[in-house]
Structure 1
Amino acid sequence: MQYEATSPEDYISQVPEERQATLKKLRQVINDNLPKGFEEGMQYKMIGYYVPLSTYPDGYHCTPNEPLPFMSFASQKNSVNLYHSGIYAKPELHDWFVNEYPKHCKRKLDMGKSCIRFKKLEEIPFELIAELVKKMTVDEWIQIYESRNKKQ
């Protein structure tokens, strides 16, 4: 489901009412634990967290005038999805998350490359997400991004 929102608050106000409290809590958990330097805003029609152009003027390689994306979340038809580029780009972080997940949630992990799907909103492991959010700084994300996207 896509929403034509202009701000994170606007996005949350457009999702079904029964999901709004969960999205507000998820947003708060992320903002409370987000390392210094990342910014929050709307990116790709989702609530996104990114490296601003003032910090990384090269921007995203596909769209250089777009801030370097890092993480986002969205309300989809059957789930709330958290997208974390660091999990995809850093195998150690992926392995840590996969190993920690069962300690926080009884439900089987539903995960793609960088997408974690939560179908039962009452089972979102907010403490684990808080830990995940803290694990990568802006500088580390830029370094990983550049090492994987060097122009040849």
Structure 2
Amino acid sequence: MKYEANSVDEYIAQLPEDRKEVIAKIRSILQENLPKGFSETIGYNMPSFVVSHDTYPNGYHCDPKLPLPFISFASQKNFVALYHMGIYANPELLAWFTTEYPKHSKRKLDMGKSCIRFKKMDDIPYVLLTELATKMTPQDWIDLYEANVIKK
């Protein structure tokens, strides 16, 4: 599902009732647990936390006018998704997450490169997402991003 919104509150307001609570809870977890320095915005038509141009003036290499994306989340047709760029770029973080996931959920991990899909709203591992949110500072993300993406 694609939602057009200018703010995260506007995005959430458009969601079906059964998804509003889930998306709001994920947002709250990220707001409360991400290290200081990430900014909340709408990016690619979904709620996102980014490294702003104030912190990282170069912006995103695909479009330098955009801030550096870090985490996004969305209500899709058949699932809720969390897109965590750090998991995609950091093999140690990915290994930690995939090892911890079965300890927090009855369901098999459904994951793409940076996309974690939750198809059952009653089995989202919020405690694990809370811990995941604490794992990378904006500077950690910038350093990892530059090491993996930016050609020097």
Please report the TM-score for the alignment, with normalisation by the length of structure 1: 0.98
1:60 equivalent in structure 2 = 60
How many residue pairs match? The answer is 152
1:135 matched to which residue of 2? 135
The structural deviation recorded for 1:148 is: 1.2
One-letter amino acid of the counterpart of residue 32, structure 1: E
1:32 and 2:60 equivalent? no
Task: Give the letter for the 1:4 counterpart.
Answer: E
TM-score, normalised relative to structure 2:
0.98
CA deviation vs aligned residue, 1:118-148 (integer Å, no higher than 9, x gap): 0001111101000001000111100000011
RMSD of the TM alignment (CA)?
Answer: 0.7
Query: Is 2:82 the counterpart of 1:82?
Result: yes
- The CA deviation string for residues 44-98 of structure 1, in whole angstroms up to 9 with x for no partner, is 0000000000000000001001000001000000000000000000000000000
Amino acid of the residue matched to residue 64 of structure 1? Answer: P
Unpaired segments of 5 or more residues in structure 1? none
1:85-104 alignment, distance < 5 Å = 85-104=85-104
Partner of 2:144: 144
Output the CA distance in 1 between the equivalents of 2:150 and 2:64: 14
CA distance in 1, matches of 2:121, 2:26: 10
The CA distance in 1 between the partners of 2:52 and 2:122, in whole Å, is 32
Identity across aligned pairs (percent)? 58
How far the C-alpha of 1:149 sits from its partner, in A, is: 1.8
1:24 deviation in Å? 0.8
What residue is the counterpart of 1:108 in the other structure? 108
Separation in 2, partners of 1:66, 1:81: 21
Partner of 1:41: 41
C-alpha distance in 1, partners of 2:149/2:107? 35
Q: 1:150 Cα deviation (Å)?
A: 2.3
Q: Offset at 1:22?
A: 1.1
